[in-house]
Amino acid sequence: MSEYDPVDPPVALTVAGSDSGGGAGVQADLTAMRAHGVFGASVVTATTAQNTRGVEDVNPLPADHVASQYAAVADDFDVAAVKTGMLATAEVVETVTELVADFDAPLVVDPVMVAATGDRLLSPAAEDAYEDLVAAATLVTPNADEAAVLTGDPVETPADAEAAGRELVALGADAALVKGGHLSEGAVGEDVVVDTLVRAEGDSESGGPTVDRFETPRIDTDATHGSGCALSSAIAARLARGESVRGAVDVAVEEMTEAVRRGYDVGEGPGAVNPTVLGEE
């Protein structure tokens, strides 16, 4: 009989929707977390019928069942970080906000509000419900379109992204990462993606929030499905391992370039990013 030789990784939890096509949602989250040596648990908020060509149907789960899943995980695991993704309805957003209110560890909020097509995914009530969840976040990670929804102002340039990040920090988030993939290419150069991190932690010179910009090569592909999920999950995993927000974002943003470059060419539509390359040395 062989000797039992287990590993004891940190545990991170994703609270998000399921992607039947496998490229985003809980499926991408768990892959990204495990690529970083973190055990991933999950709370499913909705099931979807989707593939590489698009979303055909969404079925939000009852908020009380979402709460039951969360309670089951929290009762058994020492959760070191939580990441939220698609929350689907105002009731689920409010339920999740209540569930994490006493959570004493990093919370990464990926406010999945706008599809790649530009279509709004949530009702106005659900969008409004995000305000309290954003205020509870260690880090909120909107793309430019989602930052515009959260702040009410257009986000088209890196300067706009910084302004949005500052506003999200003013709303209560410890930090905001406004992703630059959807920014106007003419504003940043067609070959570069600029992600902007604003941290409430003060800048010693200005006395205001600290602002960092990360420039990475833009990959010539439409196959970016799951990039936001994988990025926020990679950051959550690194926070679960005890890294700083600045350090976790720096590494995860750099890794995403390779995850997109080495993406999955599957299905008849644009493929998906490859979270398995995250965490590679």
Examine residue 63 and state whether it is found in any structural domain, yes or no: yes
Tens-binned pLDDT, residue by residue, of the chain (281 aa): 999 999 999 999 999 999 999 999 999 999 999 999 999 999 999 999 999 988 889 999 999 999 999 999 999 999 999 999 999 999 999 999 999 998 999 999 999 887 665 566 777 888 889 999 999 999 999 999 999 999 999 999 999 999 999 999 999 999 999 999 877 655 556 788 999 999 998 765 666 899 999 999 999 999 999 999 999 999 999 999 999 999 999 999 999 999 999 999 999 999 999 999 887 76
> What is the identity of the amino acid at 212?
D
Examine residue 207 and state whether it is found in any structural domain, yes or no: yes
Residue 189: C-alpha distances to residues 177, 212, 252, 258 (Å): 20, 18, 22, 19
Examine residue 2 and state whether it is found in any structural domain, yes or no: no
Examine residue 80 and state whether it is found in any structural domain, yes or no: yes
Q: Structurally, how many domains does the chain consist of? A: 1
The whole-angstrom distance between residue 69's C-alpha and the CA centroid of its chain comes to: 20
Q: In terms of residue numbers, what domain contains 262?
A: 11-220+231-276
Examine residue 41 and state whether it is found in any structural domain, yes or no: yes
Examine residue 1 and state whether it is found in any structural domain, yes or no: no
Examine residue 3 and state whether it is found in any structural domain, yes or no: no
Examine residue 45 and state whether it is found in any structural domain, yes or no: yes
User: Domain with 39 in it: what CATH number?
Assistant: 3.40.1190.20
Enter the pTM of the model. 0.94
Place of tokens 């929804």: 149
Residue 229: name the closest of 65, 1, 40 by CA.
Answer: 40
